[in-house]
A = this chain, B = another copy of it.
Amino acid sequence: MSPFAELKREAYEANVALPRHGLINLTFGNASAIDRAKGAFAIKPSGVDYAALSPDDMVVVDLDGRIVEGRLRPSSDTPTHRKLFLAFAGVGGVVHTHSSHATAFAQAGRPIPIFGTTHADYFNGPIPVTRKMTAAEIAGAYEWETGNVIVERFAEIDPADFPGVLVNRHAPFAWGPSVAKAVETAVAMERVAEMALMSLALAPDLEPIEPELLARHFKRKHGASAYYGQV
C-alpha cells in the first residue's frame, strides 16, 4: 500500500468538495495537501473531470517538483502550489478556484473590502490582490512566477492572518493548516466577495468594518483566545 494513501485521500476529498460547494465549473481549480515530514504533496491531475476522479488519480510531487507517485500528469498549476508550500511554513493545504464573485474582484484588480463579520471570521483585513505579472514573468516559468507574486504580496503580512489572495487578472488561491480548512476558506472568500459586491451596490462609499469588531471576530476563531467551535 502506498505511503501516501492517506494524503491522496485527503487531497481527493478536498478536490471533489470544490464543485459540491459551487466553486468550480468544468475543470477550473485544484486542491493539494502536503505531508511535511515526507516533504511531498498530493495534487489533482491536470484537466481531469471531477466526476471521474478517484483518490488514486492524485499525483504526489516533492518540494523540488519531482513526481514521487502517480500515473497522470499533475495540475498545470502545480508549481504555484509548490512555491506556496515552500514559502508558507505553516500551510498544510492549498486550494485554487475560479469561483465567480471572487474572480470578478481578481479581474478588476481590487482587494475584497472587509464590510462585515462574516469576512472578519476568516481574514484579518481586506483580501489582498497581487500586482499584475510582468511580460517576462508571464513568458517564463509562468505558474512558478504566479507563486512568486503571491509570496511577494505577503512580504509584510502574515499568511495565517490572510489565508488567501486574489491573483490579479486571474482568480483566488486559499490555504490553511489543512486542505479541508483551505476549502472552507475558499468557500468563505466566494460568499464574502458576493456580499461585498452587493454592499457596494447599496453603498458605493461604504467604509470598512471598525477595527475593534474585526479584531473581536477574527480572534473569536483564531489564536490563543479563540472560543468558537468544540474544544
Contacts and interface: CB of A to CB of B under 8 A. Distances in A.
Contact of A76 (B72, B187, B188, B220): B220
A164 B105 CA distance: 25
A83 interface: no
A73 to B, nearest CB: 6
Interface stretch (A6-14, A35-43, A151-159, A201-209): A201-209
B203 A201 contact: no
Q: Tell which of A25, A171, A200, A231 has the most Cβ of chain B within 10 Å.
A: A25
Contacts of A194: 100
Interface residues of A, number: 61
A110 B169 contact: no
Given A210-B169, A213-B133, A216-B139, A230 B72 contact: yes
B108 A199 contact: yes
B108 A187 contact: no
A197 B198 contact: yes
B227 A76 contact: yes
Contacts of A115: 107-108, 169
Contacts of A187: 25-26
A145 B82 CA distance: 45
Contact of A195 (B107, B132, B198): B107
Q: Tell which of A45, A188, A199, A202 has the most Cβ of chain B within 10 Å.
A: A202
Contacts of A73: 229-231
Nearest to A76: B228
Contacts of A101: 198
A135 interface: yes
A105 B25 CA distance: 20
Contacts of A206: 107-108
A98 interface: yes
Contacts of A212: 135, 138-139
Given A48-B229, A76-B227, 5 more contacts: A25-B188, A133-B213, A135-B210, A139-B216, A200-B202
